[in-house]
Amino acid sequence: AHIVTLPGDGVGPEVTAAAVAVLDAVAAHFDHDFRFEEHPIGGCAIDASGDPLPPASLAACKAADAVLLGAVGGPRWSDPNARVRPEQGLLALRAALGVYANLRPLQVHPALAALSPLKNEKLKHVDVLFVRELTGGAYFGAKTRTSDSASDECRYTVAEVERVVRRAFELARGRRRHVTSVDKANVLETSRLWRSTVQRIAADYPDVKVEHQLVDSMAMLLLTQPSRYDVVVTENLFGDILTDEAAALAGSLGLLPSASLGDGRSGLYEPIHGSAPDIAGQGVANPVGAILSAALLLRHSLSLEREALAVEAAVDRVLSHGPHSRDIGGNAGTAQVRDAVLAALE
């Protein structure tokens, strides 16, 4: 398999290297052939070429079986009024790859419950799969700016809603058969389109229970009743906010992976944490989010379920017994955590 890596900025290169080491070990252990090709994206690409997504990076991603990304952005490029910004590279990549369904699984490891801001009893049985629409909405709508006003358009077609909602229902069939669709249908026209599309599609999945929540209520319910949810599907911006909120429950952003999928087998895999410039280059970033993203890559793009489970089990053992990185209360560095996962893989 041909995997493109986009380490990006900040801690991106450190955590991506750890994930690649784990994929190399999987290849050796299970006798696969993984070829890696590294390309720039984000701030480092702006520095090198002025372009946050150079044509060669994009072409390589399009030709790959899967793409593993670190993180983009950082204070050096964070002037909101700059003409070119690192995030544009990531957004352009998501759009160009057509990865409209962003999967963000959330579980709270029992050994880490003490790190969560939520009370322990709330965390029992929390097992949510967020499916965030990733290539539409206000992220990609028309924008205007004059000296005294600005606008962003949020636009969705029925087809855009339908494909991501179907994906959510399909995923629910492999889980607890419960889909919660989140919108703001009492105010937004796009949310009314979203809700009526979900209602229509739900008829094709009579075995799946469907529920609608308003985004404001959902922001509350994720805290008061997190174990009630199975698959949560929502539009791009609501998904951005709700998944970060939910990530806080896990104790650290550094733990959580994501998979962005389109209609083909290829996909884009990235930890949900950002570039964490405050700790970049120090070798202390938690590589678990990136390593679990590699596990999702094995599962969704390479159909290597057994291998994905092996990586997840290895991470589970390290989270149970340590070593733990700083963000989860330990003092292990990135390499030490990586080595522990590699050892647990044997």
Structure tokens at 149: 């006003």
Is residue 240 annotated as a catalytic residue, yes or no? yes
Task: In whole angstroms, give the CA distance from residue 8 to residue 290.
Answer: 13
**DSSP letter, residue 325:** B
73 binds a copy of itself, rule: CB under 8 A: yes
Applying CB under 6 A, which of residues 120, 157, 186, 331 lies at the interface with ligand IPM? 186
117 binds a copy of itself, rule: CB under 8 A: yes
Task: In whole angstroms, give the CA distance from residue 101 to residue 120.
Answer: 31
174 binds, among ligand IPM, a copy of itself, none (CB under 5 to 8 A by kind): none
Collapsing DSSP states into helix, strand and coil, what is residue 245? helix
Is residue 184 annotated as a catalytic residue, yes or no? yes
**Minimum gap (Å) between residue 80 Cβ and a copy of itself:** 4
CB atoms within 10 A of CB 241: 14
Applying CB under 8 A, which of residues 154, 165, 232, 332 lies at the interface with a copy of itself? 154
Task: In whole angstroms, give the CA distance from residue 254 to residue 332.
Answer: 14
- Is the Cβ of residue 86 or residue 333 nearer to ligand IPM in the bound state? 86
Task: In whole angstroms, give the CA distance from residue 132 to residue 238.
Answer: 8
With 0-12 / 13-18 / 19 or more C-beta atoms within 10 angstroms meaning exposed / middle / buried, residue 177 is: middle
Applying CB under 6 A, which of residues 18, 25, 90, 215 lies at the interface with ligand IPM? 90
**Contact between residue 51 and residue 84 where contact means Cβ atoms under 8 Å apart:** yes
Is residue 127 annotated as a catalytic residue, yes or no? no
Confirm or deny that 152 is annotated as ligand binding: no
The residues, ordered by sequence, that sit 6+ positions from 317 with a Cβ below 8 Å of its Cβ are 344
320 binds ligand IPM, rule: CB under 6 A: no
- Is the Cβ of residue 96 or residue 335 nearer to ligand IPM in the bound state? 96
CA atoms 202, 208, 211, 216: torsion sign: negative
Task: Give me the catalytic one of 100, 122, 139, 230.
Answer: 139
**Minimum gap (Å) between residue 188 Cβ and ligand IPM:** 10
Applying CB under 8 A, which of residues 60, 249, 276, 341 lies at the interface with a copy of itself? 249
Segment holding 18, helix H or strand E: helix 12-30
Q: Which residues bind a copy of itself (CB under 8 A)?
A: 73, 78, 80-81, 85, 87, 91, 116-119, 122, 138-139, 141, 143-145, 147-159, 184-193, 195-196, 215-217, 219-220, 222-224, 237-238, 240-245, 247-249, 253
User: Which residues line the annotated binding site?
Assistant: 74-87, 94, 104, 132, 216, 240, 244, 274-286
List active site positions. Answer: 139, 184, 216, 240, 244
User: Which residues line the annotated binding site for NAD(+)?
Assistant: 74-87, 274-286
